[in-house]
Structure 1
Amino acid sequence: MRALTAARPLFSDFRGGIVRVQGSEFWHMAKVLRLKPDDRVELFNGKGGLVEGCIQSIDKTGVDFMAQEDQKMILPQGMQWQVFAAFGTLKGGRADWLIEKCTELGASSVTPLLTERSSIISENRVDRLERVSFAAAKQCQRLHQMVLNPPIKFGTLLDHISKSKLCLVATAEATPLLNAVKSSAKESSGILIVGPEGDFTKKEVELMLEAGGTAVGLGPHRLRVETATIALLATLVMWSDSQETV
């Protein structure tokens, strides 16, 4: 059996030997995955570091992991998408779902966006979303953990747009997404922006376009914030992957 679990900062300079895994990761390995001595395990630190080895022993407080080779450093793959989404008012687990799927699809970061129509997100909610992202990274065997940034105000977003070579703003009645990206130059990173329920105000859209953003449409229907975010990200991940083979 082979499992991927997290060592967090345990082996930032790891070069062999035994790692003691405790806490929530120990519980996940022993109680959820039901791993046993001699099972193969890969530890990762969320920054591209990977160590392969096996479980040497398990007791009531932790797992002793024996590394079988030196740490590998794996570079990020594909285009790095930074997501800015106004999801602070989402309820009923919908924000959790958004963060989970952004992690699975490979977003490099997600930043809660505070706009005129979505002006708050609680601090304890950000803590929960970080745990959701971390769990999703393990589940999809992602070696580079997605960064969940602190919320930012709309004015700060304009600074990010002005510094980006590729910035796509999802808004109603705009040019279809695929038509917009076909003429885009190849870039190593890009920004995706999704507004709140009720969309951005007319003034907010004007300011983003003036700063250098490109308005893109996602079809004829009004989408929820989380649906629009994942539709935009999934489409662009496939698009950027196709550009790698051209």
Structure 2
Amino acid sequence: MSTWIHHCGERDVKRPDRFFFEPLEQFSEGDRLELDSREAAHAQRVKRHGVGSEVELFDGHGRVARALIDAVSRRGELSLRIVELGRSPRPERRVWIATAVPKGDRMETMLDMLTQLGVFRLTPVVFARSAAQSGPGRQKRWRRVLVESCKQSRRGILPRLDEPRSLSEWLGEIGVAASGTRWLADPDGMSYERARADAEPGRRTEVLVVVGPEGGVTSAEKRDLIEFGFTPVALGDHVLRVETAAVAFAAALASVSEL
């Protein structure tokens, strides 16, 4: 096994700038490919790469490649040759955040931070008191945020981003808890420390956290969530904004090796 592949998931190894390309599954070492126009422009205009530069590619599904730029067209198209293929390690714990959509650009900031913290799945949920809705084109823009965050944080697996759906629709999809730990962010809930201690050993590798809107979930929504296995859990003594609560839970979970 080569040094590069062996260290794909390690932080102390200096690696080339990385760019997004999908899918890598159909390529082998020695094959050539072209970056899309957005990634090619970033490589040349921002990172100042040219013929002979070594870069790293990732496809968001765990596959990575070390490649050399071997041609640049007059239109700025980049041709690369794959030197080596590898895989990013998969996380031992999967954190799923189902959250109300914050107002303005705070959703994009939240998505960026949650990606850096290793959250594996993100579901925008519409609650009774939701103030912000998902408009046309936002899903595509949100996915771009995830890609850019993966590039910056050197994460190899893109978080799964679901289409927005109502709380009742989403609960119908996930069903009553069969596995994993389920928490509802709630300033009146039990402490995070107690919730961690109470988590069943067989349910600690998957954690699903629901974050409601800034107006809070209604009593009926809270009752439904509890019926579906969600335990109200508080982080600290204060009422948090949507994005703050989501990031705080993700950071708390990322900071411990096990619940």
**Same fold at TM > 0.5:** yes
Q: Match for 1:52: what amino acid?
A: R
Unaligned runs of 5+ in 2: 1-14
Q: Match for 2:192: what amino acid?
A: L
**Moved >4 Å (runs of 4+):** none
Deviation (angstroms), 1:161:
5.6
Corresponding residue of 2:258: 243
Corresponding residue of 2:168: 155
Corresponding residue of 1:95: 107
Given candidates 33, 43, 48, the residue that maps to 1:34 is: 48
2:22 is aligned with 1:22: no
Superposed CA offset, 1:120-171 (max 9, x none): 3213222221111111111111110112110121113324261343111101
Whether the 8 Å CA contact 2:44–2:50 is kept in 1: the answer is yes
Unaligned runs of 5+ in 1: none
Given candidates 139, 148, 159, the residue that maps to 1:146 is: 159
Superposed CA offset, 1:78-135 (max 9, x none): 3111110011x512x1111011111111111111111100173213222221111111
Matched residue of 2:187: which SS?
Answer: coil
Corresponding residue of 2:146: 133
TM, length-normalised to structure 2 = 0.86
Matched residue of 1:76: which SS?
Answer: coil
Q: 1:20 to 1:121 in 2, by over 3 A?
A: closer
State the Cα RMSD in Å: 1.8
Q: 1:83 to 1:128 in 2, by over 3 A?
A: same
Given candidates 56, 59, 64, the residue that maps to 1:45 is: 59
Corresponding residue of 1:211: 228
The total of aligned residue pairs comes to 238
2:135 is aligned with 1:118: no
Greater mean alpha carbon deviation, residues 32-41 or residues 96-105: 32-41
Question: In 2, distance between residues paired with 1:216 and 1:157?
Answer: 20
Corresponding residue of 1:202: 219
Sequence identity (%): 25
Question: In 2, distance between residues paired with 1:169 and 1:226?
Answer: 14
Question: In 2, distance between residues paired with 1:223 and 1:188?
Answer: 26
